[in-house]
Structure 1
Amino acid sequence: MDLSLGAIGALTLVAAAAGFVDAIAGGGGLITVPALLTAGISPVAAIATNKVQGSVGTASATWSFWRAGLIDFRRIAWPIAATFVGAGLGAFALQFASTRWLLVALPLLLAAIALYFLFGPKASDEDIRARLTPAAYSVVAFAIGFYDGFFGPGTGSFFALSLVTLLGMGLTRATAHTKALNLTSNAISVAVLALGGHVLWTLGACMAVGQFIGGRLGSHAAMRFGPRLIRPLLAVVCIGMTVKLLSDSANPLRLLVQDAFR
């Protein structure tokens, strides 16, 4: 589709802001996907193009965290493999299925994560005893990967919470490993959706520049300020995504609640 230079420039700036937020707390997709839809792009093409620019921002953040020695790829080898398979299947299913049920469950899940980070046990940068082995955690990684391939917004928050609570990682280290897992799911999703012809490559490349800059700035901010920045921003992002989803008058959960009180 044809977009004006002004629209492409505006979407690139949106991608930079989303890259900064996503590198720290996840949830950048719920900034960029609505922006793409507002520009008149179809839902599947919006999700596919978002994966392209999101992959670059996530790769930028992953590189920064890896250079700082915060990612242990050997420890998450099985979760990465599970994420790869799950995301590939999710991206394939996206081309044939409805996302309606996700729009019912997602606000509830995001609200629960926000409450956990606001009122739950205080997550620190110290690793604690893991509840699951990396191999067992692969089941969780597969499920989150499938969701990311199928829809996406909130994936970073889901990975971060599960790495803290199930693998016992400190919050900054969990954020770093989240980027590696999210990069895996984004990359395979792009490949599957590109084969289906859903990616707008020129727009995705322009937005990728913004994502790259935002991702670098966000990852450095996360490493500098640690849980003091990550914990509240995770909560704010989750609450913001919940409000954004429920602000849509056509959201299925909103319609269910409205019908219940009539």
Structure 2
Amino acid sequence: LLVLGVPPAFALGTNKFAASCASFTSSLTFIKYRVYDGDLLKYLVFGTLLGAILGVKTVLLLDSSQLRIIIIILMMFVAIYTLFVKNIGNENKFEGVNKKTIAIGFIVSIVLGFYDGFFGPGTGSFYIFLFLTLLNYDFKISAGNGKILNFVSNITSLIMFALHGKILYSIAIPMALAMILGARLGTKLAIKNGARLIRPILISVTLLYAVKMIFDITNH
């Protein structure tokens, strides 16, 4: 959208409309098949809400493009780490809900909620990666947890952008319909295939995001 000349705030708001519809579709599917950990997520929703609200308020005041170099480095790290650490996410080794895991999860939810509201690209990949590495979930549960929290941050950000009139519905609605179809198919395939599918997708998506952002910077 930025390439088409859409102002940054409108581009983010319009994208959030479509992303909210897609993440809602994915979340319902993960919940239907019980591929998530509700015992932990109930403690993390508020952190995600708070982070997303602060993120949107910040992006309405500042230029989020300043973050691109940092995000590119983080995305490259996620892709390389996931590629070379072969045993990550093959088994669910989550130690259970306790003060430690709630604290870790809450920090993750605030940080990624803020990031999703402020910038957005790659949020789902970061959620999966942090649930894998910090909380030791397997790929499927990490994806389910991440997608549900991603929906919370998306819908929170969407409401904030809508209140400020930053959504182009003529673009957002067609985008949403296409993303809903993709989300429904992708989620079912992820649940069925687990790490065998999610790992290469996580690596590919983060690398593609990084390459795209490098291209955007060099051609700005």
What's the TM-score once normalised by structure 1's chain length?
A: 0.78
Is the contact made by 1:49 and 1:204 (CA closer than 8 Å) also made in structure 2? Answer: yes
Q: Which residue of 2 aligns with 1:186?
A: 154
Q: Which residue of 2 aligns with 1:96?
A: 61
Q: Deviations over 1:89-144 (max 9, x none)?
A: 10111100122431120110000000111002422342114494123320121011
Distance 1:251 1:155, change over 3 A: farther
**Structure 2: 5+ residue runs without aligned partners?**
none
Structure of higher CA gyration radius: 1
Distance 1:74 1:130, change over 3 A: closer
Q: Which residue of 2 aligns with 1:154?
A: 122
> For 1:124 and 1:106, how far apart are their aligned partners in 2?
23
- What secondary structure, in the 3-state scheme, does the structure 2 residue paired with 1:178 have? helix
Matched, 1:198 2:166: yes
Q: Deviations over 1:146-203 (max 9, x none)?
A: 0100000010111101111112211011001111000000000011111111111232
Is the contact made by 1:49 and 1:199 (CA closer than 8 Å) also made in structure 2? Answer: yes
Q: Which residue of 2 aligns with 1:69?
A: 34
Pairs aligned (count): 217
Q: Which residue of 2 aligns with 1:118?
A: 83
Is the contact made by 1:125 and 1:172 (CA closer than 8 Å) also made in structure 2? Answer: no
AA in 2 matched with 1:208? A
Q: Deviations over 1:76-98 (max 9, x none)?
A: 11212101110111011110012
Q: Aligned match of 1:224 in 192, 207, 211?
A: 192
Matched, 1:109 2:77: no
Matched, 1:173 2:141: yes
> For 2:141 and 2:105, how far apart are their aligned partners in 1?
16
Is the contact made by 1:134 and 1:167 (CA closer than 8 Å) also made in structure 2? Answer: no
Name whichever of 210-219 and 196-205 sits farther off.
196-205
What RMSD over aligned residues (CA atoms) do the two structures have, in Å? 1.7
Q: Aligned match of 1:211 in 167, 173, 179?
A: 179
Q: Which residue of 1 aligns with 2:112?
A: 144
Q: Which residue of 2 aligns with 1:16?
A: none
Is the contact made by 1:60 and 1:216 (CA closer than 8 Å) also made in structure 2? Answer: yes
Q: Which residue of 2 aligns with 1:15?
A: none
**How many Å apart are 1:46 and its aligned residue?**
0.7
Distance 1:248 1:39, change over 3 A: closer
Is the contact made by 2:35 and 2:191 (CA closer than 8 Å) also made in structure 1? Answer: no
Is the contact made by 2:161 and 2:167 (CA closer than 8 Å) also made in structure 1? Answer: yes
Is the contact made by 1:88 and 1:188 (CA closer than 8 Å) also made in structure 2? Answer: yes
Q: Which residue of 2 aligns with 1:40?
A: 5
Q: Which residue of 2 aligns with 1:235?
A: 203
> For 2:193 and 2:23, how far apart are their aligned partners in 1?
19
> For 2:215 and 2:66, how far apart are their aligned partners in 1?
17
Q: Which residue of 1 aligns with 2:52?
A: 87
